[in-house]
Amino acid sequence: MAVGIFDSGLGGLTVWEAVRKRLPDLPLVYYADSAHAPYGVRDAEDVYRLTKAAVERIWEEGVDLVILACNTASAAALRRIQEEGLPPGKRVLGVFVPLIEALTERKWGDNSPPREVAVKHVALFATPATVASRAFQRELAFRAIGVDVEAQACGGVVDAIEEGDQILAEALVRSHVEALKRKMPNPEAAVLGCTHYPLLADVFQEALGADVKVFSQANLVAESLADYLERHPDMLGEGRENRFLTTGDARQVSDRATQFLRRKIAFQPA
């Protein structure tokens, strides 16, 4: 009954933690492609190739459903992986859908024409690759009209978080928020379009101001997954073990993950 969670590094652990709290009896196979992280500075073809290889490896762990807990992979690879065809009984889902459902207040299955929504000015903070893909804007346009999205590529933030440099990460966030505000002085909402960023949600909120509603992905993805599995119980794979796999140095990744979540995490070589 295992479900897979994939990220290029440790950011997806924010999703893992939220899913663990929401579905405590669900075994999770977490896969970090640490040897090739970060994905946010890679081109789309490279991200697709790495993501597809990772998904296929996760399926070997008795998993039928994989969550791409990586916005860059969701932006650059998800649609292509789905359109090229999946093996029977396998599914791959991304992290944009729950976010856009929350922002537009409409379910993904609602196929009515795009309509106006309450929020008109949205700040998107994401990796350079996610920003360049315009995937968020494309998916949002299927559901809403009249929404002005200003994107800010947050270079360096993921690296600082992965390296455990909190001071640098916070300084970079403030700098990127300042840059965004020069382009959009008064955003009504902000989307943290990287699963690393919830760790700095308070810093984003402080820099943006109390009046800006900040949408973070981890809890939204966990709730969406719970709903999906209730509607599709057949997507629970045969795996029974919680596992953490990495393409990087397992000991080093384990140490950083333990620091990341403030709990003991033990990765194994993928």
Q: Quick one: pLDDT at residue 166? A: 93
Contact residues for 249 (Cβ-Cβ < 8 A; gap 6+): 34
Supply angle C-alpha 163, 168, 172, rounded to 5: 115
Among the listed residues 65, 69, 50, the one whose alpha carbon sits nearest the alpha carbon of residue 10: 69
Identified catalytic residue from 3, 67, 194, 218: 194
- Alpha-helical (H) ranges within 187-268 are 201-208, 217-231, 250-261
**Structure tokens given for 39:** 């994905």
**Residue tagged active-site, from 5, 54, 63, 70:** 70
Q: Which of 33, 28, 57, 59 is nearest to 46 (CA)?
A: 33
Q: Based on the residue annotation, tell me whether 154 is a catalytic residue of this protein.
A: no
C-alpha–C-alpha distance, residues 177 and 154, integer Å: 9
What is the rounded distance in angstroms from the CA atom of residue 249 to the CA atom of residue 119?
43
Per-domain residue ranges for the chain?
A: 3-94+218-269, 97-217
Rounded average pLDDT over 133-159:
93
Q: Which pLDDT band holds residue 107 (cuts at 50, 70, 90)?
A: confident
Q: What is the pLDDT of residue 182?
A: 98
Segment 76-101, tens digit of pLDDT: 999 999 999 999 999 999 998 898 88
Q: What is the dihedral of CA 115, 208, 158, 15, to 10 degrees?
A: -60
Q: Which residue has the tokens 């992965």?
A: 162
- Mean residue pLDDT of the chain comes to 94
Please tell me what DSSP assigns to residue 194.
S
Of the options 3.40.50.2300, 3.40.50.1860, 3.40.50.10490, 3.30.590.20, the CATH number for the domain spanning 3-94+218-269? 3.40.50.1860
At residue 62, the pLDDT reads: 94
Q: Provide, rounded to the nearest whole percent, the portion of the chain with pLDDT above 90.
A: 84
The mean per-residue pLDDT over the stretch 200-211 comes to 97
- Band (1; pLDDT cuts 50, 70, 90): confident
pLDDT tens-digit readout, 230-260: 999 999 888 899 999 999 999 999 999 998 8
Q: Do domains 3-94+218-269 and 97-217 have the same CATH topology?
A: yes
pTM of the model: 0.90
Contact 194, 158 (CB under 8 A): yes
* CATH, domain 97-217, list 3.30.470.30, 3.40.50.2300, 3.40.50.1860, 1.10.510.10: 3.40.50.1860
**Sequence letter at residue 123:** A
CA 160 – CA 30 distance, rounded (Å)? 21
